[in-house]
């Protein structure tokens, strides 16, 4: 596949020797390629991929239609800067507008960049109303990225530690409590926006109540705040709707997207409704790579494949099947708390920290992650079939049972 002579296994010694900066506690495996929901390591060992590169590989690995489109695009034009019109930007923006019912899109390359743009939108929205010190409501256990502003918005002190001073202008509240939101913002004229994940991903697959989302929408309308929903992880069909907030029948004013949007090619977007679509003017914001033709083609083709193969419906159906099977098998097992999430964004909550399960699953040929210490996270590609779900259950359930017995 590749001519790079990498060691197939990184031991602690050669990890020390690695020229890559040590920002991830990596597992001892190196992959060479993938196909659909399967991946192979450098020794030719097969794995079932229930992680999809953290909710990124929407159409799985090596999808023939995506590969062909990207190969064609690479030959035609990879990059063209935003001094000029980019036709594929117009196409992807129109598609996102159609799917969301919102009105305009800004393109960037990552989730944090999309959230950074959302925070700037909220601040300028306030500035235009004469608010000099705008404040944005954010949530406990939220994750919005690792830039200075987005880690300040994030509700996790571990992610913030060592990077102070944090950006000011955030008010933090617990999820799913209208009363807490009303109290925290009471008589505060500086509030400009409420910013939340419809389903918290890194925070442990915590689902916002649909009624709560409707109440926040109503409150934002009443107080003239922007309602900004971070759909970087829960968006792009994963929950069985194009966007997770659509389950509540509402529409946000600002919606950052990334992860699954380009099936692995870095693409971020901020979709804005009428209240936020015309806040930025030329010179206010930008991104060199944002909206480049390769990224746009990946987004366009991802959505086209999702439509042609009914992958949003598949996410709803297979997600429900997988979650039901897991619940059936784990019901009554001491130490199992609950399954949570929606569609193909599934958390299996245990009553104790279980990050060791990540390595145990890897050794058993299954890729998954553990987040918020006690939550096993499954976010597989949307092309998943029932046989894959059965294989996940048959590998994972015995591992969980064994883990709970031995700890």
Q: What Å distances lie between residue 267 and 3, 62, 92, 107, 357, CA to CA?
A: 28, 18, 11, 7, 31
Least Cβ distance, residue 349 to ligand PLP (angstroms): 18
Contact between 258 and ligand PLP per CB under 6 A = yes
Contact between 272 and ligand PLP per CB under 6 A = no
Contact between 173 and ligand PLP per CB under 6 A = no
Residue with smaller CB distance to ligand PLP, 245 or 325: 245
The single residue among 36, 126, 201, 319 that binds ligand PLP, judged by CB under 6 A, is 201
Least Cβ distance, residue 7 to ligand PLP (angstroms): 27
Judge whether 102 and 227 are in contact, CB under 8 Å. no
Q: Quick one: angle between helices 293-308 and 64-76, nearest 10?
A: 160
Stretch binding ligand PLP (CB under 6 A), from 45-53, 107-115, 344-352, 377-385 = 107-115
Q: What Å distances lie between residue 298 and 7, 13, 23, 101, 402, CA to CA?
A: 31, 38, 27, 21, 41
Least Cβ distance, residue 118 to ligand PLP (angstroms): 10
Active site residue 402: no
User: What are phi and psi for residue 49, nearest 5 degrees?
Assistant: -100, 100
Residue with smaller CB distance to ligand PLP, 201 or 299: 201
Judge whether 190 and 223 are in contact, CB under 8 Å. no
Active site residue 259: yes
Residue with smaller CB distance to ligand PLP, 195 or 336: 195
Stretch binding ligand PLP (CB under 6 A), from 76-84, 143-151, 205-213, 368-376 = 143-151
Active site residue 143: yes
Least Cβ distance, residue 155 to ligand PLP (angstroms): 11
Contact between 232 and ligand PLP per CB under 6 A = yes
Residue nearest to ligand PLP as judged by C-beta position: 111
Residue with smaller CB distance to ligand PLP, 119 or 383: 119
3-state DSSP percent of the chain in helix, strand and coil, to 5: 40, 20, 40
Selection from 67, 56, 69, 89 nearest residue 261 by Cα = 56
Residue with smaller CB distance to ligand PLP, 155 or 293: 155
**CA–CA distance, 83 with 49 (Å, rounded to integer):** 40
Question: Which is catalytic among the residues 10, 107, 143, 195?
Answer: 143
Looking up tokens 């949007």, which residue turns up? 261
Judge whether 259 and 56 are in contact, CB under 8 Å. yes
Judge whether 200 and 142 are in contact, CB under 8 Å. yes
Residue with smaller CB distance to ligand PLP, 41 or 197: 197
The single residue among 126, 145, 252, 262 that binds ligand PLP, judged by CB under 6 A, is 145
Handedness of CA 21, 27, 30, 34 (dihedral sign): negative
Contact between 230 and ligand PLP per CB under 6 A = yes
- Number of Cβ atoms within 10 Å of the Cβ of 3: 4
Question: Which is catalytic among the residues 124, 241, 259, 275?
Answer: 259
Contact between 204 and ligand PLP per CB under 6 A = no
The b/e string for 54-73 (b: 16+ C-beta within 10 A; e otherwise) is ebbbbbbbebeebeebbeeb
The single residue among 47, 106, 107, 143 that binds ligand PLP, judged by CB under 6 A, is 143
The single residue among 197, 267, 306, 366 that binds ligand PLP, judged by CB under 6 A, is 197
The single residue among 233, 239, 246, 369 that binds ligand PLP, judged by CB under 6 A, is 233
The single residue among 144, 238, 297, 377 that binds ligand PLP, judged by CB under 6 A, is 144
**CA–CA distance, 108 with 114 (Å, rounded to integer):** 6
- Please list the alpha-helical segments (H only) found in 61-110: 64-76, 87-100
- Number of Cβ atoms within 10 Å of the Cβ of 385: 13
Contact between 116 and ligand PLP per CB under 6 A = no
Q: Which residues bind ligand PLP (CB under 6 A)?
A: 110-112, 115, 143-145, 197, 201-202, 230, 232-233, 258-259
Q: Which residues are catalytic?
A: 143, 230, 259
């Amino acid at each position: 596949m590749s001519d790079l002579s990498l060691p197939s296994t990184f031991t602690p010694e050669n990890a020390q020797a690695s020229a890559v900066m040590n920002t991830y506690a990596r597992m001892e495996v190196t992959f060479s390629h993938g196909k659909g929901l399967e991946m192979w390591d450098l020794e030719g060992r097969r794995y079932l991929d229930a992680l999809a590169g953290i909710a990124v590989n929407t159409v799985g690995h090596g999808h023939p239609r995506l590969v062909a489109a990207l190969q064609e695009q690479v030959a035609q034009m990879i990059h063209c800067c935003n001094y000029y019109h980019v036709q594929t930007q117009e196409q992807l923006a129109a598609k996102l507008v159609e799917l969301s019912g919102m009105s305009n899109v800004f393109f960037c390359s990552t989730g944090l960049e999309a959230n950074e743009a959302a925070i700037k939108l909220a601040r300028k929205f306030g500035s235009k109303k004469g608010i000099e010190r705008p404040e944005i409501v954010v949530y406990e256990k939220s994750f919005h990225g690792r830039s200075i502003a987005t880690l300040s918005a994030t509700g996790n002190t571990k992610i913030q530690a060592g990077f102070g001073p944090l950006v000011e202008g955030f008010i933090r509240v617990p999820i799913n409590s209208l009363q807490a939101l009303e109290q925290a913002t009471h008589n505060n004229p500086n509030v400009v926006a409420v910013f939340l994940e419809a389903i918290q991903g890194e925070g442990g697959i915590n689902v916002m109540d649909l009624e709560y989302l409707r109440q926040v929408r109503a409150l934002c309308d009443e107080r003239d705040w922007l309602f900004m929903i971070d759909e970087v992880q829960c968006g792009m069909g994963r929950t069985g709707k194009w966007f997770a907030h659509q389950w509540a029948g509402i529409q946000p004013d600002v919606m950052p997207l990334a992860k699954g949007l380009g099936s692995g090619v870095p693409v971020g977007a901020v979709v804005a409704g009428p209240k936020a679509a015309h806040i930025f003017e030329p010179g206010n914001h930008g991104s060199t790579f944002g909206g480049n033709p390769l990224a746009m083609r990946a987004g366009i083709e991802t959505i086209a494949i999702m439509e042609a193969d009914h992958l949003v419906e598949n996410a709803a159906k297979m997600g429900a099947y997988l979650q039901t099977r897991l619940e059936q098998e784990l019901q009554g097992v001491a130490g199992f708390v609950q399954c949570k999430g929606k569609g193909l964004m599934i958390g299996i909550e245990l009553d104790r920290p279980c990050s060791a399960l990540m390595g145990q699953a890897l050794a058993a040929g299954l890729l998954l992650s553990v987040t918020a210490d006690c939550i096993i996270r499954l976010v597989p590609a949307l092309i998943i079939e029932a046989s894959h779900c059965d294989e996940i259950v048959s590998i994972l359930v015995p591992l969980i049972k064994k883990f709970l017995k031995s700890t």
